Structure 1
Amino acid sequence: MKVLVAGSGIIGITSAYYLAKSGHEVTVIEQESEPALGTSFANAGQLSYGMSSPWAGPGIPIKAMKWLAAKYAPLIINPKLTLLTLKFLFRILKNCTASRYEINKSRMVRVSKCSQQAIVEMVQEHDFDFELRSHGLLQVFRTQAQLDAAKKDMAVLDAYQVKYELLDVEGCIKAEPALVHVKEKIKGGLRYLEDQSANCFLFANHLTKICKQMGVKFEFNVSIQQINAKHKKITSIQTDQGNYQADKYVIALGSQSADILAPLGIHLPIYPVKGYSITLPIKNDADAPQGTLMDETYKVAITRLGDIVRVAGIAELTGYDKTLSDSGDRITQFVLHDLFPKATDQVPDDQLWAGLRPMTPDGTPIIGKTPYDNLLLNTGHGTLGWTMSLGSAKVINSLVSEQTPEIDIEGLSMFRYQ
């Protein structure tokens, strides 16, 4: 079967891989000149299987109000609120209940757990280095209130069979020895034992080469103009390089998915949440992170990737604007040097990067069928595209191949919004 995948970020590449592995004739079209140059380029590097949780949850509205007034705010909202931003905020608020959190997290964990097993299979099958580290993920708490709240959340972790350990300050230092320099700043931590870190951009490029060896065609510098349809069936995707036709179509365009699909009557509540990262060489291994940390106060991740450290975070709601702001630079640098003051030198100006995360209001990606018989979606992964990529791709391959997915796909498709 001929399958056309739109988008060559980590979601599109993994989709192409599993489809080709099943014997389909796959073509990938991409507007950039190379794979993984969008949000997959310099993300946090976390494979957060245990920490797969929606942003929307009980208590978030109150926290958000405090964040807006903080010096190093993890949430930045453009004061010139657009209708797009207002709709997204309203939908987020509707999901800030205990019952919705439970439903949304259960859906996310299903996909993440599938990805976790798929990474194991990938490592066994292919011999390429993508700086995978299985050091766990340490959620660092700076206040007693955060530590107490974590204890309440353990019942949720137990329900999803997430392996974890609650640590005091000395336990955090044992997990990440360099924290000994700032022990007075932390109260404890929650360590997700099975979480990992890896270089998403490196993985995506290695997998692209493997896909090409399997016969996948990659067409770069191709801009989609519109999707043509007739009688609830896609007939072609019109681009500046001509029309592309296939038997089935997979949209994996991240934040651009909503605009591309809207003319078809498919209205997806995907919002482009801007996130920032900085990437630095490590000056001293003993003073650097060994795995991945999440600073619970500032919602910033610090990840070890080979001989570099990646610092990523912040949620800036400013539409599709990718302009680099001083706030993004200031917050990421502060968190890095506050927790690991001896790990790196100061950040050069050209190391700041921003990407648009395709967020849904319930946190769950949109994976599955549409009202069009031969059109499928694999988008809306937010901050967890790297974490969920392989599991999402497996689901898409099963649906295209008309097989039963290996996980329950209830609540994953666009139809949950109707």
Structure 2
Amino acid sequence: MRIIVMGAGVIGVTTAYYLAKAGAEVVVLDRQPGPGLETSYANAGELSYGMSSPWAAPGVPMKALKWLFMKRRPLFIWPLISPRMWKWGAQMLMNCNDASYAVNKSRMVRISNYSRDVMPDLISETGIEYDGREQGTLQLFRTEKQMKASKADQDILAEFDSPFEVLDPDGCIAAEPALALVRDKFVGGLRLTADRTGDCRMFTMALAEKAAALGARFHYGQKIEMIRIEGDRVKGVKTDKLGLVTGDAYVCALGSHAPRLLDPIDLRLPVYPVKGYSVTLPVTDDAGAPQSTIMDETHKVAITRLGDRIRVAGTAEIAGYSNRLGPNATATVRHVIGDLFPQGGDIDRAEGWTGLRPMTPDGTPILGPTRYPNLFLNTGHGTLGWTMAAGSGRAVADLVLGRTPDISFDGLTAARYGL
């Protein structure tokens, strides 16, 4: 069976690996010169299984209004003349209620927990090195109000079997000793003990090599121009250099760019690009640096230890497909690392980056079948592509190959949008 995978980010590469491992003939197409060069390149580095929650939640609209007026705010909205943007925003607001949140959360946890369970096997069988650590995520609360509000998250974590610890300041410092230097800046935390960390780009590059060793062929520098349809099936994928590339089945794993390719064949996915920013800086003092991941609840910024580097990521900017990295774009993430770990790294040597997260209005990715029997989707993971990659890649690969996946696809497919 010959399968064409569109996209060589972490989602496309994990899908390609599982397909190749099963003996399929796999061809991967990507416009970049190598794997993991867009959203997978410099994300937060969190495998945040315990924090798999939709952004569309009760109370978020009011919080969003407050964030817009913060000096170092986590949210920016540029009001573009874009029907897609406003429709997506309206759909997201419609999901900001208790009932929708519960449904969407359960769907996301289904994928992230499956990914949590299969990731150790993937690492064991490949021997991949990716600066991985297994020391959990510490959600850090600066106020008592945040601490009390976390009780709702604790209830959900318990419901979905995601292990956690509620920590006082001493407990936070025991988990992250460098926080002793800024003890007065937080009141407690919620530690998600099953979470892992690692460099998504390193992982994607290494797994692409493993997939290639299994026979997968990667064609980089290929702009995918269109999907050709004949009758009710995909006939091929046209690229600017290879021309028409044909197969028995096709997987679209193009992240935020999936709608641009799928709109012309009447699959109008509600996936919208939400820009995020990060900086990566060298560790200068191990004792003053983070040991795993800390999530600053006030600024919605993650600080992650990746070997001898620190990755600081955050901000949600709704501005279409802009990849511009402005001179002050990383001000918030720079402030947070300096505020919480002032002695850990050299901020003057920080490398800035921006990427587009493929967000759905309900938070859940769009996986599996379409109205075209030989076209499958693996996109819309938002901020959780790295977290959900192993699980969604394996499950979609099973579906493409006619196997019964280990998880149900109920509520995960494009059918929930009437597509």
Q: Which moved more, 1:211-220 or 1:148-157?
A: 148-157
Shift of 1:269: 0.4
Supply the distance in 1 between the matched residues of 2:213 and 2:395 (Cα, whole angstroms).
23
Per the alignment, residue 142 of structure 1 pairs with 142
Shift of 1:117: 1.5
TM-score for the superposition, normalised by structure 1 = 0.98
Per the alignment, residue 272 of structure 2 pairs with 271
Q: Would you say 1:336 and 2:337 are equivalent positions?
A: yes
What letter matches 2:337 in structure 1? L
State the SS of the aligned residue for 1:63. helix
What letter matches 2:196 in structure 1? Q
Supply the distance in 2 between the matched residues of 1:100 and 1:46 (Cα, whole angstroms).
25
Deviations 1:88-131 (A, max 9, x none): 21111001001111111111111111111221102221223111
Residue ranges of structure 1 left out of the alignment (5+ in a row) = none
What letter matches 2:381 in structure 1? H
What letter matches 2:174 in structure 1? K
Shift of 1:401: 1.1
Per the alignment, residue 228 of structure 1 pairs with 228
Q: Would you say 1:259 and 2:257 are equivalent positions?
A: no
Deviations 1:365-386 (A, max 9, x none): 0001000010000000000000
Shift of 1:327: 4.2
Supply the distance in 2 between the matched residues of 1:269 and 1:152 (Cα, whole angstroms).
28
Q: Which moved more, 1:109-118 or 1:319-328?
A: 319-328
Supply the distance in 2 between the matched residues of 1:18 and 1:79 (Cα, whole angstroms).
41
Per the alignment, residue 10 of structure 1 pairs with 10
What letter matches 2:211 in structure 1? C
Residue ranges of structure 2 left out of the alignment (5+ in a row) = none
Say how many residue pairs are matched.
Answer: 417
Deviations 1:267-297 (A, max 9, x none): 0000100000000000100000000011111
Q: Would you say 1:312 and 2:313 are equivalent positions?
A: yes
Contact 2:224 2:237 in 1 (8 A): yes
Shift of 1:81: 5.0
Contact 1:53 1:108 in 2 (8 A): yes
State the SS of the aligned residue for 1:41. coil
Contact 1:136 1:192 in 2 (8 A): yes
Shift of 1:84: 2.6
Q: Which moved more, 1:212-221 or 1:126-135?
A: 126-135
Within 5 Å, give how 1:284-299 maps onto structure 2.
Answer: 284-299=285-300
Per the alignment, residue 189 of structure 1 pairs with 189
Supply the distance in 2 between the matched residues of 1:356 and 1:286 (Cα, whole angstroms).
33
Supply the distance in 2 between the matched residues of 1:26 and 1:143 (Cα, whole angstroms).
51
Shift of 1:348: 3.8
State the SS of the aligned residue for 1:226. strand
Within 5 Å, give how 1:8-407 maps onto structure 2.
Answer: 8-80=8-80, 82-241=82-241, 242-348=243-349, 351-407=351-407
State the SS of the aligned residue for 1:328. coil
State the SS of the aligned residue for 2:228. strand
Supply the distance in 1 between the matched residues of 2:79 and 2:411 (Cα, whole angstroms).
33
The alignment's C-alpha RMSD in Å is 1.0
State the SS of the aligned residue for 1:92. helix
State the SS of the aligned residue for 2:279. strand
Supply the distance in 2 between the matched residues of 1:326 and 1:83 (Cα, whole angstroms).
29
Cα 1:337–1:303 change in 2 (3 A) is same
Supply the distance in 2 between the matched residues of 1:346 and 1:158 (Cα, whole angstroms).
38
What letter matches 1:34 in structure 2? G
Contact 1:314 1:328 in 2 (8 A): no
Supply the distance in 2 between the matched residues of 1:5 and 1:253 (Cα, whole angstroms).
9
Deviations 1:164-205 (A, max 9, x none): 011111111111000011111101100000001011111111
Deviations 1:17-38 (A, max 9, x none): 0001111000001101111100
Shift of 1:78: 1.0
Supply the distance in 2 between the matched residues of 1:317 and 1:287 (Cα, whole angstroms).
34
Per the alignment, residue 410 of structure 1 pairs with 410
Contact 1:6 1:252 in 2 (8 A): yes
Cα 1:80–1:264 change in 2 (3 A) is closer
Contact 1:46 1:292 in 2 (8 A): yes
Shift of 1:151: 1.5
Deviations 1:282-329 (A, max 9, x none): 010000000001111100000000010000010000000010124431
Supply the distance in 2 between the matched residues of 1:127 and 1:165 (Cα, whole angstroms).
30
Deviations 1:220-242 (A, max 9, x none): 11111110001110001111121
Supply the distance in 1 between the matched residues of 2:195 and 2:329 (Cα, whole angstroms).
26
What letter matches 2:176 in structure 1? E
What letter matches 2:348 in structure 1? V
Shift of 1:408: 1.6
Supply the distance in 2 between the matched residues of 1:293 and 1:146 (Cα, whole angstroms).
15
State the SS of the aligned residue for 1:258. helix
Supply the distance in 2 between the matched residues of 1:201 and 1:403 (Cα, whole angstroms).
29
